[in-house]
Amino acid sequence: MSGLLGRLGGWCARRGGLVLGLWGAVALLLTAGSLLFPGPVSSDATAPGTDAQRAHDLLREGFGPGFDAGGTVQIVLHSPGGPLTAPPVTAAVRSAMERIRGVAHVVAVESPYRPGGLAPDARTGLITIRLRGHDNDEAAKTTARLSAAAEPVRALGVEAVPADASTPADKEVKTGASEIVGVACALLVLLFAFGTLVAAMVPIFAALVSIATGLGVISLLGHVVDVPKQASIMATMIGLGVGIDYALFLLSRHRRLLADGVPVRRAVPQVVAGSGGAVVFAGGTVIVALSALALGGFPMLQTLGWITGVSVVCAVVTSVTLVPALLGLLGHRINALRLPFVGRRHGDGSSWWGALGARVARRPWSVLALSVVILGALTAPALGLKLGSLDDGYGERGTDARRSYELIQAGFGPGANGPLLVVVALDAEAVAGGAAPAALGQVGERVRAVPGVAHAGEPVLNAGGTAALLQAVPRYAPGDARAVEVVRAVRAIEVEGARVHVGGEVAAMADASDRIGERTPLVVGVVVLLSALLLLLAFRSPVVAVKAALMNLVSLGAAFGVLALVFSLGLGTRLVGMDPPVGVDTFFFPVPIDGYIPLMLFAVLFGLSMDYEVFLLTAVRQAYLRHGDSRGAVAEGLGSTGRVITSAALIMVAVFVAFVAYPDPMVKIFGVGLAAAVAVDATVIRGLLVPATMALLGRLSWWSPAWLDRALPDLSIEGHGEEPAGEERGGALAGVTPEPGPR
């Protein structure tokens, strides 16, 4: 593989102008296409085969327009100056309803003056609008037109807020200031790392081209697949971080070769053959981990995974093609525009990281014990991680979603924001024998008797008389764990001749969490196994592969511990800019974490952790092949990569922390989790724990049975051209004996 990458890098360096022009054209065309034909996004949380999905299928099949997802929009009315029943307000409401009926695709408009449409104080009401034949891709525009039609009531000082979460302001999490802050912080780190403006701009430029290409592809894919609204943000977060990091690793190696007197035309192929191979394998582990989310059984999680993988693929491809082209075009001008007092190059032996590596190699047991204590303290809070449904009550104040949530909660109770859609499928025998009405009556009584149900409406039969719908309102908010217990209790109802199914937001998220919980061991096992297999192919050492997988799991535990402290215990929710729910006045308040987030974080973090593992092990491996001293190789490898890995980690942490400023709570959770994991991984794990274990293992780190060495394909990622002649290459040291332990 290294030979192929080396030839690719050399070709790109020789034809730098052509490669740069092609990438620029691709990025511009895809960006223009995404702006002219933006793909829709989706927030569908249902999972195939679940009870909630069955309920929604029955709604679509038997109840016609307006009952399926996306077919209903509500306008929440709130009159602070008096009841909605006052004559002037009533007239304005009727006028608004007439205007709403004139909007395209509206087939029914339910008055707030119907039973259940007004709150007990008559100051809050709901206009329910049912749609037919509309394009779900244009849901945001449809909601905006419906909201504009309610202007007659606003003229009287009555609030009219669309309760649909897909209003234009909230439909998709937009990119903006956080990306600028992240890029600015990354530029500062690169300036200190390289000391020249030109060198610092190369990773930034490559990452921006990669992000533009990836986001363009993702936006256009929205026309053929359901893309979650957070997908573009996740892709930008991960793509920006890995894009800058991958280019940074290549550029660092290139500048070292130039400093050693290697000509540009020889340096670029060597860089792409060596560090480029590490980039491909590191990116491959991220993609493998994200692809394994397809086994989670939750479509939204699966889509988030592969869409984020698109940004990683773009980062890898630009790193091994665009970056070599830029290096070839710039030549020695890569060191132009040098800044004073920063970026001075020091020998590895005198560097701080080199000294740390030597100290770790001398006292591995002490360093190992210290690492275990630190990681144990960080991981312990993970036992308190609390999962739940993150509803709009935790959204950004001032948005329509948050305001409508608060109005409905104040007027109708917290459970009105997450009503249960109880769909009763009637047996053919019951329908034919006339027993259906009695069965429906029993179901209604049993639903009202369920503890935690505030009230339930009367069952409504579909046109064919084969199913009925009744709406039950829990006493608890959608994010309250007790609402899930109500769902389970309703589903447990058994009536002869009828089968009870429960849909709605709460039921869908509960089913998704249950499905993910069942599949989590499978996903974790596949990710760990495939990632270890990739490392085995890369370094031809089973010990290295197993150890790396275990180290990554340790860093994940620390990340989840930080998440528990910040969100589950609520010690940092205000610090990350979250607004407390209505009625919460304390500075610290806990926030539930959606059930799919930990598994998504696991896949992303496991892949990202492998990046630093691959780059560190590559350097240690090369040092070991030169002189055969395992402890010296650990010190030398840490010394030569520590500064680069630290710079890369600082960039990733800066990018992820910048995204914490986003109003979307899910993005905040991902930003905190990713930043914490990368910080721990690049310091405690790669700086202390990995070197200490490698020093203790000695030559056993690189041992491989002879039969395994013969069976493995030769996929060395270290770059053959960089290894001294006559030394063993490939990584298989079959038959070696471990070095003695520390004296």
Per-residue pLDDT of 41-99, as tens digits, reads: 666 666 778 898 898 888 877 776 555 545 688 899 999 988 999 999 999 999 999 99
Same domain for 100 and 68?
yes
395 and 452 share one domain: no
Tell me the pLDDT tens digit for each residue of 307-327. 888 999 999 999 999 999 999
pLDDT category at 742 given cuts 50, 70, 90 is: very low
CATH number assigned to the domain comprising residue 111: 3.30.70.2740
Same domain, yes or no, for 28 and 117? Answer: no
Name the 3-class secondary structure at 140.
helix
Q: State the helix-helix crossing angle for 505-539 and 542-563, rounded to 10 degrees.
A: 150
Residue 213 pLDDT > 90: yes
**Local confidence band at 434 (pLDDT 50, 70, 90 cut-offs):** confident
Residue 108, SS3? strand
Residue 169: the pLDDT is 36
Residue 727 lies in a domain: no
Q: Do 214 and 318 sit in the same domain of this protein?
A: yes
224 and 290 part of one domain: yes
Side chain identity, residue 260: D
Residue 550 confidence (pLDDT) = 84
Domain with residue 186: its CATH number is 1.20.1640.10
Interval 542-553: pLDDT, tens: 888 888 888 878
Determine, yes or no, domain membership for 690. yes
Tell me the pLDDT tens digit for each residue of 515-568: 888 888 998 888 888 888 888 887 788 888 888 888 878 888 888 999 999 998
Nearest-angstrom CA–CA distance, 660 and 209: 23
Query: Is residue 68 domain-resident?
Result: yes
* 136 and 285 belong to one structural domain: no
**497 and 525 inside one domain:** no
Evaluate if residue 149 carries a pLDDT over 70. Answer: yes
The confidence band for 1, taking pLDDT boundaries of 50, 70 and 90, is low
**Mean pLDDT, to the nearest integer, of 595-619?**
82
The predicted pLDDT at position 39 comes to 66
Sign for the pseudo-dihedral over CA of 472, 474, 479, 480:
negative
b/e map 379-414, b = 16+ CB within 10 Å: bebbeebebbbbbbbbbbeebbbbbbbbbbbbbbbb
Q: What is the mean pLDDT of residues 697-715?
A: 80
This prediction has a pTM of 0.81
The total domain count for the chain is 4
Q: Is residue 566 domain-shared with residue 602, that is, in the same domain? A: yes
Unique residue bearing structure tokens 């493998």: 288
Q: Are residues 460 and 575 in the same domain?
A: no
Q: Where residue 457 sits, what CATH number does that domain have?
A: 3.30.70
List the beta bridge partners of residue 424. Answer: 468, 500
Residue 28 lies in a domain: yes
Q: How are strands ordered across the β-sheet holding 106-110?
A: 106-110, 124-131, 72-78, 159-162
**Of the residues 503, 531, 557, the one at which a domain ends:** 503
232 and 314 belong to one structural domain? yes
Name the nearest CA neighbour of 656 among 608, 688, 587, 589.
608
Residue 537 contacts residue 294 (beta carbons within 8 Å): no
Q: Is 586 a domain residue?
A: yes
Q: Per-residue pLDDT tens for 189-206?
A: 888 878 889 989 999 999
pLDDT value of residue 45: 62
Of 130, 162, 194, which one is at a domain's C-terminal end? 162
Contact status, residue 519 vs residue 602, Cβ threshold 8 Å = no
Q: What is the mean pLDDT of residues 680-687?
A: 85
pLDDT tens track for 222-261: 777 777 777 788 888 888 888 898 998 899 888 888 888 8
Whether 87 is in a domain gets the answer yes
In a domain, 574, yes or no: yes
Do 68 and 10 belong together in one domain? no
- Are 550 and 689 in a shared domain? yes
Tokens representing 714 are: 């030769």
* Cα–Cα distance, 281 to 211 (Å, whole number): 20
Q: How far apart are CA 200 and CA 187, in angstroms?
A: 6
pLDDT digits over 152-199, tens only?
A: 999 999 999 998 544 333 344 454 677 788 788 888 888 887 888 998
Average pLDDT of 324-337? Answer: 89
Nearest-angstrom CA–CA distance, 520 and 602: 10
Q: Are residues 704 and 540 in contact, defined by beta-carbon separation less than 8 angstroms?
A: yes
Rounded-to-integer distance, Cα 466 and Cα 59, Å: 11
Do the domain assignments include residue 53? no
Distances (CA, A) of 145 to 103, 163, 168, 189, 700: 7, 14, 11, 47, 69
Domain's final residue, options 282, 313, 335: 335
Domain span including residue 475: 419-503
* C-alpha 76, offset from chain centre: 32
